[in-house]
Structure 1
């Protein structure tokens, strides 16, 4: 139950819109079941709840700061609503780090996330090609949010397709990568395009993909796009016309919202304007620029976190992201795991999670994405892989000391050979 509730949480997160259409509470079922199972498993299993890691401590600190900010800003009208959105992700992060360190292999979590994102990409293409959406939406109302989810899974598909030896992974990763890229392209999201570009450059820099292979894939994709474009020319022309119409307006409004968020952070540096406070205070801090904005967001994750929760919370939030990157890099560079096969799988999992976190952080420069699973899943997986690689390193060192240099024989009074 612990394993399958975790995998369901990750796989169903990208499909939240479809679940909400069936029942408003359906999307909460898998995460709630996972958290309850986790607590029961730890309490009756005799193991402490939680795993110590910088990502875990940052998540817990953020939870305290969210509660404190909400407590002093209850009058903003949305503090409780947005606290209920923040808290589950932070608690889930702590639980996922623990479970992925001790109970479920990180690649199982990556497979669940990739499966959910690919299903989301299928929905995006269906909405764009057959349901008349000018820009792909699928299970998410906002095309930019959809692109964020799809691009976060692209590095996982790349690493699995190119480097994992299991044929089952390749059968999943190959069509998933195609659907993810096409679905992200159908959103016409500039943030998604930038994220994919950054991920591709990262993959080339890390030598996950050869330049020749990337160029060949680009040529084949371009050749396949020509007949596809002819088949759906009217749909694409309409989407491009709509994107061109709103592009200049988006740039202007995002500048206004970034300035408003910066003003909020300057006026309330300690605990911000409270969770959801940007939504309440934007009209006044935006100096009446968008009176008709019903549910405004900052369209910049970092500024929105700082404006709503304060500078201290923003620093903790950035520290969590930095800890995720450092943890993944440490796992990539760790050469001491107990076996070559296990070490390679952990290293590849660390690379996949690192690429996903990179795509998330890039997209979030233009979007408010702190309330979506890819960010928190990537942080949890990087931390868990790091802890697993450290455990493998300790086991390998102990085995080396026991069997390699003869110290255990000397210490125990034995006469075994002391090999060097």
Structure 2
């Protein structure tokens, strides 16, 4: 089978279509999983930004509370160092961690994902908001620790509270801008996910429809026409031919049906010709013209046996569709393949005629065929069972070595009885006329 036949075969097309659908569904599944994972990551980033806003508000609230309730003695001051200063540094550490994650684009600690390609890729608006927050936080944090001082045992908490209250709006605006940018970006990405899912669904539907169309025009429609052809032949239209189209298997089926139809039509014509009555030359001419390609012969003739069963002669013969001149030469019968075929009353296949003639010079008639260029032959005996007055043999010969292959020998064997009956009747008429 050639590459084109394999590509057009039904098995290949169905396999390719099935694999295509599987790949599409697998891609759709991976896309859905990735979109779901990224949406979770988007929501987590918005939540992280919201935590920054909350932390900024808590820092501001604690600073206002500290300013309103400033300590008046050392025990109260050291209590605030343990509480307020600890909370303040905790919030600062949270800001440091989140801002650093945003700047590096590494959210693995905050948003665990199974695969790297599922990590979110931030938009340009979010990137600008992150840079603005990073610059704001860097300045705000530096001023805070400058106000606190280098002495971590006795930090200047009142100065720190004043800085927090004075610069709260700057830090709050930066965190709010980042949160809003993340929300807008998340909404945009969600719309893209919905559009991608709809586009993927449309592609899957189109591929499925395309496969159905291909299945209809390449398989179902040709198969229906072939079935209709079967019905026409079953109704008696033996000459009907169905167009060869569709997939390789359907084309093979249609080709086999057409060959069957041709053979049925030829056999129908042969039977009709026999019913109408034909002389021997007319019957051989019909077979030579109509059955030559089907049976694969180049020469066809009828050999009569004399009353003494000693000799044989060619009553009539046709070569390449044309009648041969009358030949009344006598050929030896005893000890030849003609005698064997008559004795067995069964078709005899004579392969490698040249070697047979070289091995046995008594095969005079076979030598005559070899002289005509024949290399392979089949002897079909006509005996008393076919109601011939004298025995006769119908001979099919071809120039091609091993030209009568298994399929042609099987076909000839299947129609042998019909041919022998036909030739027996015609040969009887010919002998009576002679």
TM-score w.r.t. length of structure 2:
0.23
Query: Would you tell me which structure has more strand in proportion to its own residues?
Result: 2
Query: Would you tell me which structure has more helix in proportion to its own residues?
Result: 1
Larger radius of gyration: 2
TM-score w.r.t. length of structure 1:
0.24
Q: Higher relative contact order at CA 8 Å, sep ≥6: structure 1 or structure 2?
A: 1
